[in-house]
Structure 1
Amino acid sequence: MKIATRAGAIASAAVLTFALAACSPSNEETDTTDSPAPSGSESEAPAELSGSLVGAGASSQESAMEAWRAGFQSSNPDVTVSYDPVGSGGGRTQFTEGATSFAGSDALMDAEEYAGAVEACDGDMGAIHLPLYISPIAVIFNLEGIDSLNMDADTIAGVFSGEITTWDDAAIADQNPEVELPSSTITIVHRADESGTTENFQDYLVKASSNWVADETSGDWQGATGESGPGTSAVVQIVQENAGTIGYVDASRAGELGTVALKVGEEYVPFSAEAAAAVVDASPLAEGANGENDLAYELDRTTTASGAYPLVLVSYTIVCQQYDDEAERALVTEFVKYVASAEGQEKAASAAGSSPISGDLSTRVTEILDGIAAG
């Protein structure tokens, strides 16, 4: 391993028990089913795992990660898994600096981060994305007596750019003729930190609307100034506590707040795990990824397929293609295999309302993990 901080983090984790803290896109679909695993020595996992595994990243995965952690540790009582939901950007930074063994991210690594991963991982193969958490992003709001509203992409962009300022604006009212909308001011709520959820939300607005304020996607907020908070929990709390607010969060955290159904083609589609999965199934792998084992998707935000919900995030587990020792390799690969398994995906669906990945994708992820080497 090229950076000593990961070894220090893992050594410290072996002594301390960490609790989980409370704390995104080509034209042809790529078939990855028969792609070979990365080269390098394959190692069998030990019969009994022990030690500590440290990860950090997307807060969208928090509820699912709690379920994965509990299920894996139940079968492996001598293993401690910790995950700090600091946000996608923070997780990628910690991983590329060598401080964690894996990262969770709602957005893909950029070129600089890919290069950093080569330095952080043993060998020269760097890191790859494994898509293990699929979830819609909900546009949430707080209006008394109103549970759902219909909006097209231009209307959502107008609200979050500050062009539409009242709830009874014609752009909203015309799409909701049976709803009695108040004349009160709209207060937007957004993430204060760099966020994969923000990046996916803005990617949707850049590609699906004609009037978003920015031409490029970013994990930093580019819209109008409003209320803001760090992490998903803060955004939810602000919307819950303030009437007239509107924000965006991983759909698993929408709770009893009002939510927006998106106009897709000629229909309005509310979020659901099935609608989110329909978009991912129709999307190709991204160009510029780190080889055929890097399962990074370019999501189709402009689909008009019936029942599809294009405001979706695919949250990745980012892992090295080679670790510096067998113990670390075994902990990472066995934990991530559990996450990708039918049991792990069902636990995430139950805990977080996520959409289970397909059996073919689960098999492909397992094949890739079996090929991860130890230096």
Structure 2
Amino acid sequence: MKSLLKTALLNGAISIAVVASSSGVFAADMTGAGATFPYPVYAKWAEAYKAKTGSNLNYQSIGSSGGIKQIKAKTVDFGATDNPVKFDDLEKDGLVQFPAIIGGVVPVINVEGVKPGEIKLDGPTLADIFQGVISDWGDKRIAIMNPGVKIPSGPITVVVRADGSGTTAIFTDYLAKTSSMFKDSVGSGASVKWPAASTVGGKGNEGVAANVSRVKNSVGYVEYAYAKKNKMTFISLKNKDGQFVAPDDLTFAAAAAGTDWAKIPGMGTFITNASGAKSWPITGASFILMYKDPDNKANAAEVLKFFDFAFKDGKKMAEDLDYVPMPDSTTDFIRKNVWSKIKAK
């Protein structure tokens, strides 16, 4: 099973084979598609759920925009997105939305001789790098912010998502909040036009991680699990309270602590640039989309059982990958006020 999961992670899909029980009845086969941000933890949950119940989750890690398209086309039992759908659009399409996991988006670099977290930047400087205003690691603004750190000069290659991406939506939401220039010239969303002269695209978090690891003097952005798995060099960031922080589950949790999910229509919100001395400024949640009246009610019921298992028994698995599990108060709200709207068999 471990080798199967490893292969699935490399292929960007979870597909754990369904086997017959001794009674000859086949276990359920759920389908989902979308965000690459939560993919590592969904893979881990899927393996554990398969071992416990025999039920299979086939999840395609195709990006948030793809997940929204697939659920609207009714080709999957659930869609996954890090770019939350607005409440009015949920109502129009007969969908519900709930957050499944919290994590952090992390700027990662490939600069020779620099250790993880050694380079420190603030939001406006990071925004200027990603819009091409700062195009060399030897730029004076970077040097002033990093006294005593030996940063070799070299032209910066910006690595971004080539597909419609909730990770991009979270990242650009942060940059737009901290830089009015970035907000006006680039904006925010799942897909934006990146203006830096030297820009390379990668498909999924996997593609961005691979390109940053390959291209010297590059900078990109990935969900933290990908940075950790690939032993990538991350940048420390100055948060809203003026403190430089490193990414981990504790700083993600600190950022999310003030979010009152029950008061947010459709539960859809970004958690970027949150207050708090220990808060990681590019924190976000990943969301699940399901129909209130699904065509395959048995599969919808199994999806709810899967996420119920994840909320109850998957916390340690999430923490091992430096995600932050949803608080019990939030998952109780989801069960009572979101799942109750789904007509599942």
What TM-score comes out, normalization by structure 1 length? 0.78
1:302 Cα deviation after fit: 3.6
| Unaligned 5+ runs, structure 2 | 1-7, 13-24
Provide the rounded CA distance (Å) in 1 between the counterparts of 2:261 and 2:317.
26
Structure 2 residue 326 is matched with structure 1 residue 357: yes
Provide the rounded CA distance (Å) in 1 between the counterparts of 2:296 and 2:10.
27
Partner of 2:339: 369
The structure richer in helix per residue is 2
Provide the rounded CA distance (Å) in 1 between the counterparts of 2:95 and 2:290.
5
Give the alignment's Cα RMSD to 1 decimal.
2.4
Residues 109 and 219 in structure 2, CA contact (< 8 A), matched pair in contact too? yes
Change beyond 3 A, Cα 1:215–1:182? closer
Partner of 2:152: 182
1:337 Cα deviation after fit: 1.0
1:110 Cα deviation after fit: 4.5
Structure 2 residue 268 is matched with structure 1 residue 296: yes
Pairs aligned (count) = 318
Of residues 220, 240, 244 in structure 1, which corresponds to 2:213? 240
Change beyond 3 A, Cα 1:111–1:222? farther
Change beyond 3 A, Cα 1:144–1:317? same
1:20 Cα deviation after fit: 6.8
Change beyond 3 A, Cα 1:338–1:21? farther
- 1:285-364 alignment to 2 at 5 Å? 285=261, 289=265, 294-299=266-271, 301-324=272-295, 326-341=297-312, 343-350=313-320, 352-364=321-333
- 1:153-232 alignment to 2 at 5 Å? 153-212=123-182, 213-214=184-185, 216-225=187-196, 226-232=199-205
Change beyond 3 A, Cα 1:176–1:253? same
Provide the rounded CA distance (Å) in 2 between the counterparts of 1:100 and 1:168.
48
Partner of 2:100: 132
| Unaligned 5+ runs, structure 1 | 1-18, 24-47, 119-125
Using the aligned pairs only, state the percent identity.
25
Letter in 2 for 1:357: M
1:215 Cα deviation after fit: 6.4
Residues 190 and 221 in structure 1, CA contact (< 8 A), matched pair in contact too? no
Provide the rounded CA distance (Å) in 2 between the counterparts of 1:266 and 1:325.
50
1:267 Cα deviation after fit: 1.6
Change beyond 3 A, Cα 1:298–1:236? closer
Provide the rounded CA distance (Å) in 2 between the counterparts of 1:222 and 1:270.
28
1:359 Cα deviation after fit: 1.7
Residues 20 and 84 in structure 1, CA contact (< 8 A), matched pair in contact too? no
Partner of 1:53: 30
Residues 92 and 113 in structure 1, CA contact (< 8 A), matched pair in contact too? no
Partner of 2:46: 69
Provide the rounded CA distance (Å) in 1 between the counterparts of 2:221 and 2:9.
23
